[in-house]
Structure 1
Amino acid sequence: MEKLRILHTNDLHSHFENFPKIGRYLQKAQQDKTVDQVLTFDAGDFMDRSHPLTDATYGQANIKLMNSFNYDAITIGNNEGISNSHEVVEHLFDHANFPVVLANLREEDESMPHWAVQDKILTTKKGTRIALIGLTAAYPLSYEPNHWHIKMLKDAMDEVLPKIEGKYDVLILLTHVGLNMDSFLAHNYPEIDLIIGGHTHDLLPHGRNVNGVWITQTGKWGHYVGNIHVEIDDKHHLQRISPHVVATSSMREHDDDQKTILGYQERGKEILSQEKVADLPEKYDGDREAAIDVSLDAIADFAGTNLAMLSTGLFLEPFKKGIITKYDLQKILPHSMHVVRSKLKGSDLWRLVMEIEKNRHYLDHFPLQGMSFRGKVFGQMHYRGIKFDPLSKAVFVEGKEINPAKEYQIAVLDHYVLVPFFPTLAIVGDNQFLFPQFLREVIGDYLAKKYPIIGSETNGGTKEPN
């Protein structure tokens, strides 16, 4: 009988506060002599540019730390594939000491990314062949403008499975597609033995068996580490899978952990603070309304529209007068969301405004949970070029009452399209996701043009990894 131990993580999202404990746990567990072999995997979203060190190093700090976790393979999440430009992703794994398994992402010419493999066969010390297939969330609206071709899950599985048929004894999927899609895969591909998943931040303390396929997830942010025991007979037939999780809070903290964690934050702050963006006048000092107004101008300029909308909850801090740096913008707008140019008929734009106004008071203090990090509350929606008369319910666009038959273009955010607060955008909007810059970069570029730094103050700093 062969005994394996599989350790796994998912959706770490640059929560470096848990990395010291996780690193020690993995390194100790990888030396477990009560089993024949230990394997370690990650199921994506290991980075999140809401952390200043990740943002400052374009994820290279994450790669350096993950190298110490001794992963046998990983797949990527949407935070790696979408929140970074194509160029950044092309070099993200230049210094990784682990393979990236990813069956459903291609370059625009249909070639495999040079940093990934479609599948991988691991042979254990006792000769069991373990096939690994990686899958990430299939978001064509986001991947295609970023110069990637994303394949639907079924298409990818139907392509790769025949190629590896007869070449493996155990089939494991590393997926960043969410629990519902993991269940779809389990129902439609019963040859799968184990799915190590992520994306929807579900915590499955003892896994979930769907159609004879075990599905595991460890929640989010490194609060738990997956710990699976596997038994395989002498003929390399799988006999037993026993999933568990270990709470990071139960792991012993070392005296210098907090110093290490603070060091990650300070190093990111140090790098980003060297990069000066703009010199803001007095009117922006602590004035959230002024910050919203110029940000509306920024996204409208970026999208080439006259109309725009933004919610106040996105702005975690107000702007300040004087020199504003990339670190300031990272604190104010840590979210890695993109601008969307949406084309709507006048009648549909009217409906969108009605949806916003109907929910305005409800959304003002609505907590944003389970939606990645988009701020603490939704807040108030502000418009550029649009006025609403609550008495007549009339909508005015650039001073004229809206024409129901006319087409209008408005700059919005991916957040408003993907989260179902305002269904009109997703249902009838002709939405073009704009890449590669995301929100704070768009606003930073606009501020740099509108309020350039003059004199001895120059843009400096570096984005080289620590």
Structure 2
Amino acid sequence: MEKIRLLHTNDLHSHLENWPKIRRFLDQRKREASQNNETILTVDLGDFVDRWHPLTEATSGQANVELMNQIGYDAVTIGNNEGVGSSKDELDHLYDQANFDVLLGNLFDKRTLEMPKWAQPSKIITSIEGTKIGLFALTAPFPLTYSPNGWDIRFPQDLLPELVESLRGQVDVLVLMSHLGITEDRKIAATFPEIDLILGSHTHHLFMEGEIVNGVQLAAAGKFGQYVGDIVLTVDQQHRLKEATVRAVPTATMTEFPEDQAEIEGYLARGHALLQEKKVAAIPHDLKVGTGDYLLIEATLRAMKERADVEVAIVNSGLFLAPIMKGLVDQDQLHQSLPHPMHLIRVSLLGSDLIRLVLEMEKNRSFLRNYPIIGMGFRGKIFGEICYSGLEFDAVNHKVRWLGEPIIPESSYTFVTVDHFMFIPFFPTIEIAGSCEFLFPEFIRSVLGDSLKSHYLID
């Protein structure tokens, strides 16, 4: 019997506070396998890059790839943070210096309809004793955000039959590196028993000892580097898989060295320093978070309208985490104030639907004011107040006005807001009745920075 070890990381999201221990753990396991003449594979399942971290933001993810190179992964795939959190050009060059293979079977260039040059659909690795392990990868399809960024993202169901058929006959063990989420993984397992192992991610689910669906072994290791997946495959002399032992190893139990904290703090310090070098504008007054004059939220609403070329904007105050002080503004200040990987959307609605949307917002206003919200790219603590620019709501008469005028139900109106409003469940009219255009590649902080630069030049 041959033992093949497969170690996987996933959804690190630039949580580099766990990286020294993870690197040490993976390196130790690889050295042990080498000494014992055993086969070991290391893979990452995506969302290693996340631009909330200043070093990731400052280097467009290149620093993350430098860290991944320390492992020398056998294969990695991308998550939505790499795919949508990067401009097309940034993603096309993200892996220029990588010492590992990027696997991805469902992303294509929108113009050429060809796979990106930095990716390949699959990889076959032969173990020391001759077992052929086939790896292939799929990432979560978000057409609304991938398409305007220049990508053709395809649904797994459309590609899986051909991918599985083409690989199954060439390998002894077939492994799917999935950034699709737990529900999709279970569906795939139920439909494709030809797959031996699905390594799962995206939904941050955790299987401490795995799960079996339709004879397919599933594994998952949570989020933020809090666990590392450790799977041992047992194959017989005919290279047939006989058993898979799955566990998620808590990072908290791994060896920690005194110098780890200095390394972790160094990543933050380097990121802040690089961002501080990038000057944006020289503003004559503080842009405050809260109430009073010269509000940061007002400057951002103005910037949003300028970018979208519309006269009305809507945003929530919980996005604004820190003021921007007068004087020279740099990208570090913008990043600390608006760390969210959010894009803008331009939304067109009939007047009747716009009235309904504002009523939805007003109905939820009190609830959302102090509502703690996570996910969908939100990096704040609470949703906060809903803020309009160009819209007015008469709470007494329940009337909505657009630029001071009554709304005509049959007319069309276009405004700008953040894509977050489309993904959260509180304002369904946006998705149900709206015509929505995603504005790429800028994040909301970049939109604000561009506006400040245009209004307040650096001498």
Q: Does 2:8 correspond to 1:8?
A: yes
Q: Does 2:46 correspond to 1:41?
A: no
Q: 2:353 aligns with which of 340, 348, 355?
A: 348
Residue identity matched to 1:118: P
Residue identity matched to 1:391: V
Q: Which runs of 4+ in 1 moved over 6 A?
A: none
**Contact conserved, 2:164 with 2:194, CA < 8 A, in 1?**
no
C-alpha separation between the residues in 1 aligned to 2:26 and 2:409?
Answer: 60
**Contact conserved, 1:287 with 1:319, CA < 8 A, in 2?**
no
**Contact conserved, 2:167 with 2:174, CA < 8 A, in 1?**
no
What pairs up with 1:207-286 in 2 under 5 angstroms? 207-282=210-285, 284-285=287-288
Q: 1:450 aligns with which of 443, 448, 455?
A: 455
- The residue that corresponds to 1:404 in the other structure is 409
Gap regions ≥5 residues in structure 1: 455-466
Write out per-residue CA displacement over residues 294-345 of structure 1, whole angstroms, 9 at most, x where no aligned residue. 1011111111211111111111112211111000001011111100111111
User: What's the offset of the Cα at 1:32?
Assistant: 2.7
The 3-state SS of whatever aligns with 1:62 is helix
**Contact conserved, 2:234 with 2:242, CA < 8 A, in 1?**
yes
C-alpha separation between the residues in 2 aligned to 1:72 and 1:84?
Answer: 23
The 3-state SS of whatever aligns with 1:437 is coil
**Contact conserved, 1:32 with 1:38, CA < 8 A, in 2?**
no
C-alpha separation between the residues in 2 aligned to 1:398 and 1:286?
Answer: 25
Q: Does 2:159 correspond to 1:167?
A: no
C-alpha separation between the residues in 2 aligned to 1:10 and 1:332?
Answer: 27
C-alpha separation between the residues in 2 aligned to 1:84 and 1:332?
Answer: 20
- The residue that corresponds to 2:192 in the other structure is 189
- The residue that corresponds to 1:379 in the other structure is 384
C-alpha separation between the residues in 2 aligned to 1:68 and 1:100?
Answer: 16
**Contact conserved, 1:4 with 1:35, CA < 8 A, in 2?**
no
**Contact conserved, 1:308 with 1:412, CA < 8 A, in 2?**
yes
- The residue that corresponds to 1:458 in the other structure is none
Residue identity matched to 1:316: L
Gap regions ≥5 residues in structure 2: none
Higher mean Cα deviation, 1-10 or 360-369? 360-369
C-alpha separation between the residues in 2 aligned to 1:293 and 1:216?
Answer: 47
The 3-state SS of whatever aligns with 1:359 is helix
**Contact conserved, 1:288 with 1:318, CA < 8 A, in 2?**
no
- The residue that corresponds to 1:98 in the other structure is 100
The 3-state SS of whatever aligns with 2:207 is coil
**Contact conserved, 1:343 with 1:429, CA < 8 A, in 2?**
yes
**Contact conserved, 2:72 with 2:100, CA < 8 A, in 1?**
yes
The 3-state SS of whatever aligns with 1:266 is helix
Relative to the length of structure 1, the TM-score reads 0.95
**Contact conserved, 2:6 with 2:231, CA < 8 A, in 1?**
yes
User: What's the offset of the Cα at 1:36?
Assistant: 2.3
C-alpha separation between the residues in 1 aligned to 2:347 and 2:404?
Answer: 20
Write out per-residue CA displacement over residues 408-450 of structure 1, whole angstroms, 9 at most, x where no aligned residue. 1110111111121211111111111111111111110011101
Q: Does 2:330 correspond to 1:328?
A: no
- The residue that corresponds to 1:78 in the other structure is 80
**Contact conserved, 2:178 with 2:200, CA < 8 A, in 1?**
yes
Residue identity matched to 2:456: Y
The 3-state SS of whatever aligns with 2:356 is helix
What pairs up with 1:433-448 in 2 under 5 angstroms? 433-448=438-453
Residue identity matched to 1:4: I
User: What's the offset of the Cα at 1:286?
Assistant: 5.5
C-alpha separation between the residues in 1 aligned to 2:176 and 2:296?
Answer: 45
C-alpha separation between the residues in 2 aligned to 1:405 and 1:291?
Answer: 34
Write out per-residue CA displacement over residues 174-214 of structure 1, whole angstroms, 9 at most, x where no aligned residue. 11111111112111211111111111111111112112112
**Contact conserved, 1:47 with 1:79, CA < 8 A, in 2?**
yes
Write out per-residue CA displacement over residues 143-180 of structure 1, whole angstroms, 9 at most, x where no aligned residue. 11111111111112133233324111111011111111
